[in-house]
Amino acid sequence: MEAETLTEDIVWQHHDHLMWNATEFKGTPNSYPIYRYKDFHSFSLLALIFLKAALNLNPRAYLAAKLQEFSMLEQGITIDLDNVRLVYPIKFKKIPTTTFKHWARST
Protein backbone atom coordinates (compact mmCIF):
# COMPACT_ATOMS: atom_id res chain seq x y z
CA MET A 1 0.00 0.00 0.00
CA GLU A 2 1.32 3.45 -0.88
CA ALA A 3 0.74 6.67 1.04
CA GLU A 4 2.72 9.86 1.37
CA THR A 5 2.35 9.74 5.14
CA LEU A 6 1.76 6.53 7.07
CA THR A 7 -0.17 6.92 10.32
CA GLU A 8 -1.07 4.63 13.19
CA ASP A 9 -4.68 4.66 11.98
CA ILE A 10 -3.66 3.30 8.57
CA VAL A 11 -1.66 0.50 10.23
CA TRP A 12 -4.59 -0.43 12.48
CA GLN A 13 -7.26 -0.17 9.77
CA HIS A 14 -5.54 -2.26 7.07
CA HIS A 15 -4.95 -5.71 8.52
CA ASP A 16 -4.30 -7.23 5.12
CA HIS A 17 -1.02 -5.32 4.68
CA LEU A 18 2.35 -6.32 6.00
CA MET A 19 4.23 -3.38 4.49
CA TRP A 20 3.57 0.21 3.47
CA ASN A 21 5.46 2.51 1.10
CA ALA A 22 5.44 6.03 2.55
CA THR A 23 7.88 8.91 2.83
CA GLU A 24 7.15 9.42 6.54
CA PHE A 25 5.47 7.86 9.55
CA LYS A 26 3.41 9.90 12.00
CA GLY A 27 2.45 8.46 15.32
CA THR A 28 3.83 7.01 18.50
CA PRO A 29 2.49 3.47 18.91
CA ASN A 30 3.74 2.07 22.18
CA SER A 31 2.36 -1.46 22.00
CA TYR A 32 4.05 -2.57 18.76
CA PRO A 33 7.17 -1.64 16.79
CA ILE A 34 7.27 0.10 13.42
CA TYR A 35 10.44 -0.42 11.37
CA ARG A 36 11.63 1.50 8.31
CA TYR A 37 13.87 0.52 5.41
CA LYS A 38 14.20 3.33 2.86
CA ASP A 39 10.55 4.38 2.29
CA PHE A 40 9.09 1.03 3.35
CA HIS A 41 7.48 0.63 6.77
CA SER A 42 6.35 -2.49 8.56
CA PHE A 43 5.68 -3.91 12.01
CA SER A 44 7.59 -6.97 10.76
CA LEU A 45 11.36 -6.65 10.74
CA LEU A 46 11.59 -9.97 8.90
CA ALA A 47 9.40 -8.65 6.06
CA LEU A 48 11.81 -5.75 5.50
CA ILE A 49 14.82 -8.07 5.56
CA PHE A 50 13.13 -10.25 2.92
CA LEU A 51 12.31 -7.15 0.86
CA LYS A 52 15.98 -6.18 0.57
CA ALA A 53 17.00 -9.85 0.24
CA ALA A 54 19.95 -9.46 2.59
CA LEU A 55 20.85 -9.22 6.25
CA ASN A 56 23.31 -6.52 7.31
CA LEU A 57 24.06 -8.13 10.66
CA ASN A 58 24.43 -5.74 13.56
CA PRO A 59 27.61 -6.71 15.49
CA ARG A 60 26.00 -5.60 18.78
CA ALA A 61 23.09 -7.97 18.16
CA TYR A 62 25.47 -10.81 17.31
CA LEU A 63 27.50 -10.29 20.49
CA ALA A 64 24.38 -10.03 22.66
CA ALA A 65 22.97 -13.26 21.20
CA LYS A 66 26.16 -15.12 22.11
CA LEU A 67 25.71 -14.36 25.83
CA GLN A 68 24.70 -17.35 27.92
CA GLU A 69 21.78 -15.51 29.54
CA PHE A 70 20.45 -14.13 26.22
CA SER A 71 16.69 -14.21 25.71
CA MET A 72 16.04 -11.20 23.43
CA LEU A 73 17.70 -8.03 22.20
CA GLU A 74 17.36 -4.87 24.23
CA GLN A 75 15.16 -2.08 22.86
CA GLY A 76 17.82 -0.03 21.11
CA ILE A 77 19.32 -2.88 19.07
CA THR A 78 17.94 -4.33 15.85
CA ILE A 79 19.46 -7.38 14.22
CA ASP A 80 19.78 -5.58 10.87
CA LEU A 81 21.70 -2.29 10.55
CA ASP A 82 19.70 -1.13 7.51
CA ASN A 83 16.35 -1.21 9.31
CA VAL A 84 15.46 1.49 11.81
CA ARG A 85 12.98 1.03 14.62
CA LEU A 86 10.93 4.23 14.70
CA VAL A 87 9.08 3.92 18.00
CA TYR A 88 9.63 2.14 21.28
CA PRO A 89 7.39 1.01 24.11
CA ILE A 90 6.86 3.37 27.02
CA LYS A 91 9.56 2.90 29.61
CA PHE A 92 8.24 2.22 33.08
CA LYS A 93 10.30 2.41 36.20
CA LYS A 94 10.95 -0.96 37.77
CA ILE A 95 9.32 -1.47 41.14
CA PRO A 96 11.17 -3.88 43.40
CA THR A 97 8.53 -6.18 44.83
CA THR A 98 8.30 -9.57 46.39
CA THR A 99 4.55 -10.02 46.81
CA PHE A 100 1.40 -9.12 44.95
CA LYS A 101 0.16 -6.99 47.89
CA HIS A 102 3.40 -4.99 47.87
CA TRP A 103 3.08 -4.43 44.09
CA ALA A 104 -0.60 -3.38 44.41
CA ARG A 105 0.26 -0.78 47.07
CA SER A 106 3.11 0.66 44.99
CA THR A 107 1.16 1.22 41.76
**pLDDT digit string, tens, across residues 23-60:** 999 988 777 888 999 999 998 999 999 999 999 999 99
pLDDT at residue number 90: 64
**pLDDT digit string, tens, across residues 75-96:** 778 899 999 988 766 666 666 6
Amino acid letter for position 48:
L
Q: Which of 45, 10, 44 is nearest to 24 (CA)?
A: 10
What values do phi and psi take at 102, rounded to 5? -65, -45
